[in-house]
Amino acid sequence: MGMMRFVVSPPDRITPQMARQAYMSGLDRIPWRGVARLAEGELVFDREVSESGNLFVPWPVPRHGTLTLATACLMQRDEPYHLPLELARGEISQFRNQLADWRSVGLVAQPAVEETADEAVRLLARAAIAPPGSEQSAQSAEAALATILDASHRLATCYVEQAWTVRRLARQRWPWLGIDLGTSSLDEPTGRQLVGTFNAARVPLTWCEIETSEGARNWSVFDGLIRWCRAKNLFTCGGPLLQLGPGNSPDWLYLFEDDFTGLQSSVSEYVEATVLRYRGQVDLWQCAGRPNTADCLALDEEEMVQLTAHVVEQVHSLDPKTPLVVGFDQPWSEYVGRREVDFPPLYFADALLRADLGLSGLLLEINLGYQPGGTLPRDPLDFSRQLDTWSGLGVPLYVTLCMPSADHPDPLARRRDRPIESGITPRTQQTWLARCLPLVLAKPYVHGVFWSQLHDCVPHDFAHGGLFDFHRKAKPALGTFVALREAFNRPAPSTADPTDPS
């Protein structure tokens, strides 16, 4: 058992809720089991290992909001670390490593990027030579953090501009840009806005909506959504076919809580009926969603792996020509630090791919800024690194995104997850999307991106996560998708200058 202590300066810099989201990891970035708490001005982390590691913690940064920042690799010791100083040291180190990696593949960084990073290093030096834990050290460290994050955003912008230019010059196909249509019929005004914005759609085929009573299925809403997608020539993703939990699996499934064989049989019947009905009408099957975080029917991890593999194999046998993906929730694995887990999501996905079941790709579900069941807010370089890590599995990636537009209670949200940051507005949602989405689309291995909630005015998973509000009015984030679609259609520059942002 190991314990790490970090002086929080000023003591009220983070809330107890933020402290509970902190975790530590080793080089693989998968959290260790542990508990973080605030005690007398310190963040205390109790863990089951004593190895050196990195601390990750939500931290408010001027001009950037609350982001999950990381220290450098720290050894266990009795003396507490000064948290602002260690976070600044860690973020500067990660920035320099990323800059070196991207330069090795041809990135040309603007002079302002390095100038800003150099200023951050000077501020870090002031923090390091000031008396440990002093106000002067904390202020210099905070300034270093804000400055290195400025540099990170500028570096990410350089990467996006140059990656997009390469795609245009090479005439590469852009990723599909899509929206989850939900489980209600689509009204005409909303449909018109979607067609002008997206070239793809996901029809969820939610089991509990289709089969409210065992064996009695009502397909009418989903038949209409599939027909609409085909009429509008949209790339269509069907699924997830299997997603256990409230609002996804039917209530009568509890009858199989102690009968895994019966559960698997019931799942198979539903999957077969669905695939045979819509075969030839969808371009991509999402066989399963959130199998790594499913907490339903007392299934253990091994049973969940087995059930997911069975569905993939079954869909492949019924429709061998259509690509198949499985969706994984919380790809940063934050939940691993809070409960006993044998299969972190990356290992779960690797096991499915190695089984050679016919899986064509993976889908990463990123519900950014929600806790406890979402993804902690991340800076652009951390976002990029995580996508690159998943790309190491060697298959195409699809991404679903959702971000909150308010922080007050949402009566139609099924999940108890709430925004980790206060003061969120629709403009905040748009700002987060404008930072994340271009970076995701710049990755050559990403084949499609879907926004995972359409309306706030119908029951949904995450609070205030729709692109349309309670009055069916479009939020500002929809304009970001429109702007990106226009950018896709922009002609390639006449020269091959990689620094040309056009």
pLDDT tens, residue by residue, 366-377: 999 998 889 999
User: Residue 411 is part of a domain; what is its CATH number?
Assistant: 3.20.20.80
Interstrand relation of 284-289 and 324-329 (parallel, antiparallel or unpaired): parallel
Six token digits for residue 261: 């064989």
388: in domain? yes
> How large is the average pLDDT for residues 213-224?
91
Residue 495 included in any domain: no
Six token digits for residue 342? 């044998």
Check: CB of residue 7 under 8 Å from CB of residue 81.
Answer: yes
Residue 119 structural domain: 2-166
Are 347 and 331 contacting, i.e. CB atoms less than 8 angstroms apart?
no
Same domain, 159 and 177: no
Mean pLDDT of the chain: 91
Tell me, yes or no, whether 142 and 202 share the same domain: no
Q: Which helix (H) or strand (E) holds 328?
A: strand 324-329
Q: Are residues 412 and 321 in the same domain?
A: yes
* Rounded Cα distance, 9 and 84, in Å: 7
Q: What pLDDT, on the 0 to 100 scale, is given for residue 40?
A: 86
Residue ending a domain, among 166, 200, 231, is 166
Count CB-CB contacts under 10 A for residue 39.
Answer: 10
Provide, rounded to the nearest whole percent, the portion of the chain with pLDDT above 70. Answer: 97
User: Rounded distance, CA 237 to CA 241, Å?
Assistant: 11
How far apart are the two ends of the chain, measured CA to CA in Å? 54
Asked which of 137, 166, 195 is the last residue of a domain, the reply is 166
Assess if residue 305 is contained within a domain: yes
- Return the exposure string of 198-226: e unless at least 16 CB atoms fall within 10 Å of the residue's CB, then b: bbbbbbbbbbbbbbeeeeebebebbeebb
Check whether residue 57 and residue 109 sit in a common domain. Answer: yes
93 and 204 in a common domain: no
Q: Convert the pLDDT of each residue in 271-314 to its tens digit.
A: 999 999 999 999 999 999 999 998 777 788 899 999 999 999 99
What pLDDT score was predicted for residue 496? 38
Q: Would 105 be classed as within a structural domain?
A: yes
Instruction: For residues 120 and 180, state if they share a domain.
Output: no
Q: Which of 147, 166, 185 delimits the end of a domain?
A: 166
90-149 tens-digit pLDDT? 999 999 999 999 999 999 999 999 999 999 999 999 999 988 778 899 999 999 999 999
Are 149 and 247 contained in the same domain?
Answer: no
Contact between 256 and 263 under an 8 Å Cβ cutoff? The reply is yes
Distance of alpha carbon 140 from alpha carbon 130, whole angstroms: 9
| Antiparallel, parallel or unpaired: β 176-180 and 446-451 | parallel
- Give mean pLDDT, residues 221-241: 95
Looking at the fold, whether 306 and 408 belong to one and the same domain comes out as yes
- What own/partner pairs with CB < 8 Å and gap ≥ 24 does 425-431 have? 426/469, 426/475, 426/476, 426/477, 427/476, 428/65, 428/404, 429/403, 429/404, 429/405, 429/464, 429/475, 429/476, 429/477, 430/475, 430/476, 430/477, 430/479, 430/480
Domain count, the chain: 2
Q: Are 59 and 67 in contact (CB under 8 A)?
A: yes
Among residues 28, 49, 29, 46, which one has the least CA distance to residue 37?
A: 46
Residues 123 and 213 in one domain: no
Whether residues 143 and 44 fall in one domain: yes
In angstroms, the CA 409 to CA 4 distance is 35
State residue 9's pLDDT score: 87
Q: What are phi and psi of 438, to 5 degrees?
A: -60, -35
pLDDT digits (tens, 9 = 90+) for 461-499: 999 999 999 999 999 999 999 998 888 777 655 433 333
Q: What is the pLDDT of residues 426-460, one digit of tens each?
A: 999 999 999 899 999 999 999 999 999 999 999 99
In the beta sheet, which residues pair with residue 6? Answer: 43, 81
500 within domain boundaries = no
Candidates 91, 33, 101; CA nearest to 61 is: 91
Q: What is the H or E stretch that residue 366 is in?
A: strand 361-367
Amino acid at 190: T
Helix (H) or strand (E) holding 236: strand 235-238
Q: How far apart are CA 440 and CA 451, in angstroms?
A: 13
- pTM of the entire structure? 0.92
Residue 444 located in a structural domain: yes
Q: Specify if 140 maps to a domain.
A: yes
Q: Do 183 and 79 sit in the same domain of this protein?
A: no
Q: Is there a single domain that holds both residue 387 and residue 357?
A: yes
Does residue 291 lie in a domain region? yes
Calculate helix-pair angle for 135-169, 111-129, nearest 10 degrees: 160
